Structure 1
Amino acid sequence: MKRFILLLVIYGFVVGDLYAKVPTTCHKIRLKDNWEFLRQDVGNIWELVRPVKKGQPEEQPIWTQVTLPHCFNAEDAVDPNVNYYQGPGWYRTCLKLNNPYQNGRVLLEFEGAGQKTDVYIYMTKVGSHVGGYDSWNVDITDAVQTFLLSKDAERFGGKIPLSIRCDNTRDAEMIPSDLSDFNLYGGIYRYLNLVYLPEVSVASLKIVPTLDTKMKKASLDISGLFYNPTDIRQASVEVFVKNPQGKIVYAQSLGDVTPLGEFSIQGINLDNPYLWDVISPQLYTCEVVVTANGQKMTAMEKFGFRSFEFIEKGPFFLNGKRLLLRGTHRHEDHAGVGAAMTEEQMIQEMKMMKDMGVNFIRLGHYQQSEIILNLCDELGILVWEEIPWCRGGVGNETYRRQTKRMLNNMIIQHYNHPSVIIWGLGNENDWPNDFPVFKQNEIRKLMSELNTIAHQLDKTRKTAIRRCDFCSDIVDVYSPSVWAGWYRGNYTDYQKMSKEEMEKVRHFLHVEWGGDSHAGRHAEAVAPLRKEGEVEGDAALNGSALVLKKGDWSETYIVKLIDWHLKEQENMPWLTGTAYWPFKDFSTPVRPANPIPYVNQKGVIERDFTPKESYYVFQSYWTKKPMLHIYGHSWPVRWGNDGDEKEILVYSNCSKVELFVNGESQGIHQRDSQDFPAAGLRWNVKLKNGLNTLRAVTVDTKESLTDELTFEYQTEKWGKATAFQVKATPLKSGIIKVEAQLVDDKGIRCLDSREFIYFDIAGDGKLIQNQGTVTGSRKIQARNGRAQILVQTHQGTSCVAVKANNIQTSFITVK
């Protein structure tokens, strides 16, 4: 039975903000251009809008032109010589308004701004928000009308002065903690939208789909909240539900509705619904059209039908079938922009994840952009999303209210996304030090309150936390700390360690595993290579923690660690799934001594989307589309003795691969996922001194795949590094790559050197630096004795200096 109910009830979650997000498809404009930015505070709001006479001493500080989204810390987050800026910053512009609705409303919709925000129309403060990750709105209609009637309006030529103050100053009484292993960025680092609404509109839509997989039936409840600040008393409402092909499968029209409070339609029944899953993410559409005083507004939300279940001490099921969650993590962070990623960059990142075979993601450690959740819905990626209660303990009542409010907002704002299966309540909450006293009972109390709130707001999803053992019994799903082969133990201990932890909780899900790798650093095995057929002894691990060093930050070690984990995960029938930490390198204030200072380098791609070797290991286990990759495309020089056998690894999801070395076949190998390493696609070969060419070819496939690489093999032994060999290579118009290689006093390359290398420049050009990448950092630890940086020449001449401790400085001229 269908029922349409009008309730004069206001959601508690809208108190403080106008409402969570604008569920409308029309009259929303991104405010990207014509902004000025000042990275400091001002004396008062008058200073931003007062008339200024040229040459007068009261002339204002220097502002810079920026576009939105924009982050205070686009570069200084990874500047090796400074602490990243934490303080106030101002944005200002003038709006030209053209509301198509007579007597309509004008809103500013913030998709996210950090970490505290104040909004002014001329000199009137119209809104404030605390929290850097949830979306929020402010209605500026009345302030605009007041300004336009004032004597100061003429000075602005009909435009509306808008000023916004963002502040990421350190504050222990708000979340997340500054002890967190990621930057608390400042700025309007997500999109800011100008929204025009009619007198009556829909403030929010909540879609509750229920699926009966056995009966092949589904039901649907739809509820929402009207936005009607001028108290219009009459409207009509039309509701449409469209299937994934756009066909209307439900429609209802209602006239003479009083558009106040909440509306609700319950008990919509659908037969043979299309299912949302990770292979075919079928999305339905709900449209609610409100008409009042001749003005029409359409609110739209996507949703999907799916069911899921975590079996106690067992696997995960989606739509009644077992699914191994193959996951990763995402931080909102990118080279050159910090948190201010564009929609195009977000799309590229999420597609790269899907192309790697990901079907699950943990959004760590805060609510993320609506764009990301939409992409997860569209691509078929299940989601664990969490609030930023991360480390530090528990603060005062203001702290606790913010934590609860951010959980409230996250669930309300992202409720309709079928991709979401878990609400995360915290991360590493066993980490003290923000306050003098660390009380486990207070953390348990707040965690219990959050767990209750989550289940009251959403009865359909699970709650979870990571690494806080004394709270593991509170939530539905728990992830302990299991870092086999990195922070403890050998990676061959992985299955044993995981099973021990699984037995302690009802529902085990392993998020965060892996290790750091300095892109382009590789290692030669220092123990005898495994012979074909050999399975016993240390050499059988062939590059494991017993052969390579987990502290060397080489891609060689991390590839083996990942390879072992993925092999084992295929042989753990009780496993729900895992999420590798993280997908992409990201900036962090707590790791200044890393090979790239202030960068967490555990990603499988660099901060600029450049894949590391490990990206292809995941593809070989997780993807169906045929792929082939020889390990070592970023390894230009290998080394060893003349006549040594060297291991060649090929990662592929194809059944057979043939390897050629310098044109000679080394035989065909059969893939077997349980044959470590590289699922049996490995060869021990002799290399010649000098240039070598490898070519791998798939066998017995519909379409032959080929991968090829060339490298040098060095047999000369080196001594202590004493000098640099520096060269410059033009890449594209105006961009030159400068490479410095450490050599000994005989000019032999020192291929194991890890010296920190420093670049500097004088002249017309500039270094492309503070990117947090191996080619975009002016201070960087050598990768096999070499370092690189890019130079923007500006069509002129520059001198680049290369320095290291106790090494003679070298210079090269570029133009």
Structure 2
Amino acid sequence: MKKLLLCILLIISCLIKIKAQLKISSTTSFNANWEFVKDIDTTNSARLLSNISTPNVNWEKISLPHTAHIEPVKKVKEQWQGTCFYRKYFTIPTVNKGKHIAIKFDAAMHEADVYLNGKHIYKHLGGFLPFYIDISDNVLFGKSNCILVKLNNQDNPDIPPAKPIKDLDYNYYGGIYRDAWLIIKNKIYISDAVQAGHENGGGILLHDEEVSDKQAKLIVKTEVNNDFDQQKTVSVKINLKDKTGKTVATSLAGKQLLKPNSFGSFTQNLTVNSPKLWSPSHPELYSVQVQVLENGKIIDEQTFNTGIKTFKFEASGFYLNGEKFKIVGTNRHQEYPYIGYALSNNAQYRDAWKIKNAGYNFVRCSHYPPSPAFLDACDELGILVMDAIPGWQFFGGLTFQENSFQNIRDMIRRDRNHAAIVLWEASLNETDMSNPYMDTANSIVHRELPFKDVFSTGWKDYAFDVFNPARQHLKAPDYWKKYNKNKPLLIAEYGDWEYYAQNAGFNQTEYQNLTKEEKSSRQVRGYGQERLLQQALNYQEAHNDNFNGNIVGDVNWLIFDYKRGYATDLETSGVMDIFRIPKFSYYFYASQRNTDESRPMLFIANYWNDPTDKVVKIYSNCDEVEVKLNGTLIARQKPDTGINTNNLKHPPFTFKVAKYQPGSLQATGYINGREVITSTSATPGKPYKIVLKADYSGKPFKAGTNDALFVYAYVTDINGITVCDATNLVKFSVDGSAKIIGDKTGNAEAGIAPALIMGMDKPGKVLIKAIGDQLVPGNLSVILH
């Protein structure tokens, strides 16, 4: 009896395993258990690529996302460029024989040759968009397979952005720096839009029509591949669900006969009653579930989020869901210190979270397509997006142009279903493009998306639907205020170059060593209060002045400091530094959000440690602010007025103090006469201790994803007040399933020393320690989930 029971249990166990292996489709992470090597002799690369044992090559065990080289924050030599190799062994169970097997890379920089079991099977050019490799006919089942990816990120005039790194205003880092996926499906499956390569097709394509708050029509086109040698009859079912999981619309397409080794396209309409419309203030998302059916059974399925909205750009403004909407945006480079582009998905989300909390409702992806995880975060958080192709001040030959056109197609095919995207920058930024190039680029956008209210954009006033120059492309004092053509105008960059080089044009290298004058917007936190206030004033002045003209919005340069190929110093016009620590200008923008969009905010932009101080600057979205010094009332007043405030939602508050007294400034904000927020700034004492804080920005520290978390060591006095001019040397250490990436020791800047902590595979408690000479050490326990 016991033996019989044991046999039954074994049979059940096997059936469960078989059922798991025979699931309709699976897309699983392919990030773990890679090996990596660079800077090796590749003169006999054929042997290297075909010999799995690879003698005399020391492979490093890594996981994705991964950067090919840990770079210093400040460039001490040229960024690493060269050839590197990634290798992974994997096994596909024999039960999957006869299925569609593929590997997808979300991005790898930037020339990729892929080998499977020693055979070259794929080549991809371009470092910012995905490539999808069907390995169904090449993979071994039930045996070990070896995939090897050879990458080269050296300058290449045919691969956009193509400009050599030493002359480029940003860097492109080597490595497989985004996710990789293993895809196993039935041989009847929803195609991959990029791999399919079909204009206005491939994968799943949806768009809205006849949208109002009463009703909306969602049109979904699905492309289904049939890789069998015989014809198949299938149908497609779509379920639309709201955020509670309730199905609000459904559609079942009629059956369609798919020819052997071909594909079919299904177009379905769904009507949504009383739709909840997507907007930055209410980023309502719906779940779209697309199922492929054969004989009534689900054989493939995809689910993703989308939003329902209506929008249009006109010369008179940008209109969202029928109402005029003021775009207040920023530019973003995706770079992190040390690891370059190799951000985890949670780190991508944290960047978007910071953009939202800085007060922006729009982000320009400068100057290349971002991670899918970043776009997902923008959908969820409510940030409008300008998606952009790779390009900056370089126009190449015919091969370059064809590759650039392919970038446009692939960007749109990858990103077209995102709720947040309202503009397609199918333009090479600050590049002297030919008219035929621009005509073709604009045409590609509209052929890929032949719908109403689809908008291309470019920095030249030609071909594109929306004109997006930088403020400095014309000179002071008018800039773009006299632009009167019947075309939407969006200022895509402002606040940096016009203050840094006084309209020096595009000859960047000639001005790279200009003295960091106080009037520049390129200020680091350590330069002190006056320069940080100057940066904030520059942004305030430019932002306010832009709206004296007829524009749909403006986009400042930029949110985060970043590295450039052509200069040794950082580009420091970010409202946050490269470690994502805010400068004063961050709080200026944060104050421009109404309290119905966010909570009341108030920031005292004064360290109150300088005896010459007689002015207190406050950024707040309150109606009135009251300031007290050591308990004595200084004033209660309305916001500032003047030529730099007439277009601001919430101008700053400036208070004059008769005489400086060390101690405590207390500011209280009022809305409609009611006290809503209080903040203090106190004169710091001498450095005494270290206080550690982790920057979660809306996402937990996640194991098994190469999640990178910023930890900040605040040098404080005995009362916990940050010593704003402290430069103490701080040394970090970590115990637990995490490691420090980059520098473990560094000087505090404006009282804060940052470190980058990367989580390992095993969840658990991570203890972070920081010590400094003559300082009480800091300890922080974080949970790696």
Per-residue displacement from partner, 1:637-662 (whole Å, max 9, x unpaired)? Answer: 4353xxxx611011111112211112
**3-state DSSP of counterpart to 1:290:** strand
Where structure 1 has 5 or more consecutive residues not aligned to the other structure, the ranges are: 1-23, 53-57, 149-157, 431-439, 519-546, 714-724, 740-748, 801-810
- The answer to whether the 8 A contact 2:734-2:740 is kept is no
Q: Give 1:123 shift.
A: 0.5
Number of the residue aligned with 2:302: 299
Residues 1:649 and 2:617 aligned together: yes
Residues 1:618 and 2:589 aligned together: yes
Query: Counterparts of 1:406-421 in structure 2 under 5 Å?
Result: 406-421=407-422
**3-state DSSP of counterpart to 1:638:** coil
Query: Counterparts of 1:302-451 in structure 2 under 5 Å?
Result: 302-312=305-315, 314-395=316-397, 397-430=398-431, 443-451=434-442
Residues 1:184 and 2:172 aligned together: yes
Q: 1:673 to 1:118 in 2, by over 3 A?
A: farther
- The answer to whether the 8 A contact 1:769-1:777 is kept is no
Residues 1:113 and 2:108 aligned together: yes
Q: Give 1:363 shift.
A: 1.0
Number of the residue aligned with 2:132: 137
Per-residue displacement from partner, 1:134-183 (whole Å, max 9, x unpaired)? Answer: 112101222212x86xxxxxxxxx43222111210111222102333111
1:498 paired residue among 457, 477, 480: 480
- Paired with 1:394 and 1:563, the residues of 2 have a C-alpha distance of 38
Q: Give 1:90 shift.
A: 1.0
Number of the residue aligned with 1:524: none
- Paired with 2:651 and 2:136, the residues of 1 have a C-alpha distance of 63
Q: Give 1:414 shift.
A: 1.4
- Paired with 1:799 and 1:217, the residues of 2 have a C-alpha distance of 62
Query: In the alignment, residue 308 of structure 1 is paired with which amino acid?
Result: F
Residues 1:33 and 2:32 aligned together: yes
Residues 1:66 and 2:62 aligned together: yes
1:509 paired residue among 458, 480, 490: 490
- The answer to whether the 8 A contact 1:637-1:711 is kept is yes
- Paired with 1:356 and 1:665, the residues of 2 have a C-alpha distance of 30
Residues 1:706 and 2:678 aligned together: yes
- Higher alpha-carbon deviation: 448-457 or 252-261: 252-261
Number of the residue aligned with 2:450: 459
Q: Give 1:282 shift.
A: 3.0
Query: Counterparts of 1:506-585 in structure 2 under 5 Å?
Result: 506-515=487-496, 549-550=519-520, 553=523, 554-568=531-545, 572=548, 574-585=550-561
- The answer to whether the 8 A contact 2:32-2:62 is kept is yes
Q: 1:639 to 1:402 in 2, by over 3 A?
A: farther
1:480 paired residue among 469, 484, 492: 469
Query: In the alignment, residue 445 of structure 1 is paired with which amino acid?
Result: P
- Paired with 1:505 and 1:243, the residues of 2 have a C-alpha distance of 40
Query: In the alignment, residue 480 of structure 2 is paired with which amino acid?
Result: S
Number of the residue aligned with 2:222: 224
Q: 1:272 to 1:172 in 2, by over 3 A?
A: same
Number of the residue aligned with 2:512: none
- Paired with 1:736 and 1:332, the residues of 2 have a C-alpha distance of 20
Number of the residue aligned with 1:93: 88
- The answer to whether the 8 A contact 1:628-1:650 is kept is no
Number of the residue aligned with 1:627: 600
**3-state DSSP of counterpart to 2:590:** helix
- Paired with 2:212 and 2:724, the residues of 1 have a C-alpha distance of 65
Q: Give 1:759 shift.
A: 8.6
**3-state DSSP of counterpart to 2:394:** coil
Q: Give 1:111 shift.
A: 0.9
Number of the residue aligned with 2:762: none
- The answer to whether the 8 A contact 1:510-1:578 is kept is yes
Q: 1:506 to 1:548 in 2, by over 3 A?
A: same
Query: In the alignment, residue 404 of structure 1 is paired with which amino acid?
Result: F
Q: Give 1:71 shift.
A: 1.4
Number of the residue aligned with 1:589: 565
Q: Give 1:287 shift.
A: 2.7
2:629 paired residue among 643, 658, 661: 661
Q: Give 1:728 shift.
A: 8.9
Q: Give 1:83 shift.
A: 0.5
Q: 1:738 to 1:226 in 2, by over 3 A?
A: closer
**3-state DSSP of counterpart to 2:139:** helix
- Higher alpha-carbon deviation: 349-358 or 273-282: 273-282
- Paired with 2:391 and 2:681, the residues of 1 have a C-alpha distance of 46
Number of the residue aligned with 2:118: 123
Number of the residue aligned with 1:175: 160
Q: 1:706 to 1:25 in 2, by over 3 A?
A: farther
Q: Give 1:377 shift.
A: 2.1
- Paired with 2:363 and 2:605, the residues of 1 have a C-alpha distance of 28
- The answer to whether the 8 A contact 2:293-2:299 is kept is yes
- Paired with 1:556 and 1:72, the residues of 2 have a C-alpha distance of 38
Residues 1:161 and 2:133 aligned together: no
**Once the two structures are aligned, what percentage of the paired residues are identical?**
20
Q: 1:252 to 1:266 in 2, by over 3 A?
A: closer
- The answer to whether the 8 A contact 1:209-1:218 is kept is no
Number of the residue aligned with 1:286: 288
Per-residue displacement from partner, 1:470-508 (whole Å, max 9, x unpaired)? Answer: x41221111223149xx965xxx4xx42312x3256221
- Paired with 1:616 and 1:796, the residues of 2 have a C-alpha distance of 29
- The answer to whether the 8 A contact 1:278-1:359 is kept is yes
- Paired with 1:194 and 1:254, the residues of 2 have a C-alpha distance of 31
Q: Give 1:266 shift.
A: 4.8
Residues 1:238 and 2:236 aligned together: yes
Where structure 2 has 5 or more consecutive residues not aligned to the other structure, the ranges are: 1-22, 192-201, 500-516, 524-530, 694-710, 716-722, 758-766, 779-785
- Paired with 2:754 and 2:322, the residues of 1 have a C-alpha distance of 52
| CA RMSD in angstroms, aligned pairs only | 4.2
Per-residue displacement from partner, 1:421-457 (whole Å, max 9, x unpaired)? Answer: 2111224343xxxxxxxxx5x6222122111222221
- Paired with 1:26 and 1:679, the residues of 2 have a C-alpha distance of 54
Q: Give 1:79 shift.
A: 4.4
Number of the residue aligned with 1:527: none
TM-score normalized with structure 1 length? 0.73
- Paired with 1:112 and 1:137, the residues of 2 have a C-alpha distance of 10
- Paired with 1:375 and 1:787, the residues of 2 have a C-alpha distance of 28
**3-state DSSP of counterpart to 1:237:** strand
TM-score normalized with structure 2 length? 0.75
Q: Give 1:39 shift.
A: 1.9
- The answer to whether the 8 A contact 2:249-2:270 is kept is no
Number of the residue aligned with 1:532: none
Q: Give 1:200 shift.
A: 1.0
